[in-house]
Each structure stands twice: as structure tokens, then as C-alpha cells.
Homo-oligomer: A and B are copies of this chain.
Amino acid sequence: MSRLTAGIIVIGDEILSGRTKDTNSNFIAKRLIKSGIQLEEIIIIHDNKETIIKNVLSFHKKYNYVFTTGGIGPTHDDITSESIALAFNQKYCFHSKAYKILKEYYSKGEFNEGRKKMAKMPEKAKLILNPLTAAPGFIVKNIYVLPGVPLIMKKMFLNLLKYIEKGTPKKIVTININLYESSIAKGLKKIQIDHPNCSIGSYPYFNYITNKGGVNIVISSWTLLNLDDIIKKIENMISLLDGKSSIV
């Protein structure tokens, strides 16, 4: 069975100008790996039709799931929905179900032009419901279109995640050690070569408050049934170097 893959397209000038920090992709990334879906790529692009179309089509072909965040609000700079309609040669028009949801949510005088715009979507879109502020996201092919506002995006993504096909979660064990990264480099490389079906990452850190540093060694695998053998080898190596290790 081939592994399920995903890509995230973050759409928004405000991220590229540094004005806004993208917290959405980290939130999605954490949930995908636990759902057995391998996140292959995150790209952050401008609110520009051509750029959105080009990247959406490229990700559409490369990955099982494509999640976009941002650009589906009421104002002129929200052009994600229209761009996705263009990408897949679909009419960009009022979605009757989305229109109905928004009309019911807003009182009569409140359902203005801007809010109506949020019901405009590619013709064949399926809705992703929004339990907080009504305006839905949508699905076209394997593209899952979500808003940029983190609180709303997160609620909608968690709900969406219930309904999509998942795989076996990636096995991950983290070993924390009290040695410098360079001192374990040689031994760790050998263990990695002996175990090509897992990936061994090495992440040094230094805490300037406690004045203590160390390394987190992250062993992960999509295919191995367990990582015990590799953990034991790493723990042995650390103890031979007079270091301490603990699984965290």
C-alpha cells in the first residue's frame, strides 16, 4: 500500500511581509503525522491568481491531499476561491448551500455584498462546515480550502480530519541525551546506515535559563513494526560515551 501524502499551501501577503506568523501549517502538520499522512511540502505564496493556480495544480498532481489556508474572506484581496475555480475550469458562482447557510446566519440587513461573496465558490465544490462564523470552506478534487484565521481554521480542520482517509500513524520515539551533537555524529550515522527503514534525526538545543544543553534524537518510521532494536543501539552508544539518555 502506498503511503498517503499531503501538501499545504499557505496563501497570504501578510505572511510573506512578516506581519502575520503562520501558525496554521504547524497545527496541520502535527495532526497529519498522527493520522498516517505524510506531509511532503509547505509553500507560502502571495495573494496572486497566477501563483495560486500554478501551485494548486502542481500540488494537486503530486499529493493525495492538498490543504490551502487563507484568502476566502469577504474582501477584494481574498481571491483563493476564484483562483481555484479557474485552476479546474469550473464556474465561480454562488453555491446554493453556502448561500443558504450564510443567509440564515446573518439577519436581513447584515447579509451584505461582502458576506455574499463568501458563498461564491467553484461550481462543483463540496462544503467544509464552519461551526464558529458560518462561512464555509470547500473541497474541489483533492484540494481542501480553509480560512486563514487560526481559531476558525483549526476547528474546521479537526472536523474535516474525521472524514478523510487516514493511514497508519508514523512510529516516533524521541531520546533525550546530555551530550554534544558532534560527539554522537559518528555512531549515529552508523546506526542510520544499518537501519535504512527508519529515519534518525538529531536536534541539538541549549536552554539559556538552565544553562544546559543536549540533543533530542528522533527515530521515526512509517514501516517498521517497532523501533526497540534501534533504541537499544542508540542507548548503548550513549552509555559507552558516558552520556545519559532517556526516552521522552
Contacts and interface: CB of A to CB of B under 8 A. Distances in A.
Q: Is the interface of A mostly helix, strand, loop or mixed?
A: mixed
Contacts of A185: 74-76, 112-114, 117
A23 B75 CA distance: 28
Contact of A40 (B22, B41, B46): B46
Interface in A8-33: 13-23, 25-33
A186 B114 CA distance: 7
A203 interface: yes
A64 B199 CA distance: 34
Interface in A110-167: 112-115, 117, 149, 151
A156 B115 CA distance: 46
A230 interface: no
Given A186-B114, A189-B76, A17 B29 contact: yes
Interface residues of A, number: 62
A204 to B, nearest CB: 7
Nearest to A191: B76
A49 to B, nearest CB: 14
B182 A76 contact: no
B33 A41 contact: no
A39 B20 contact: no
A188 interface: yes
A221 interface: no
Contact of A115 (B18, B114, B117, B182): B182
Interface string A84-125: 000000000000000000000000000011110100000000
A200 B14 CA distance: 11
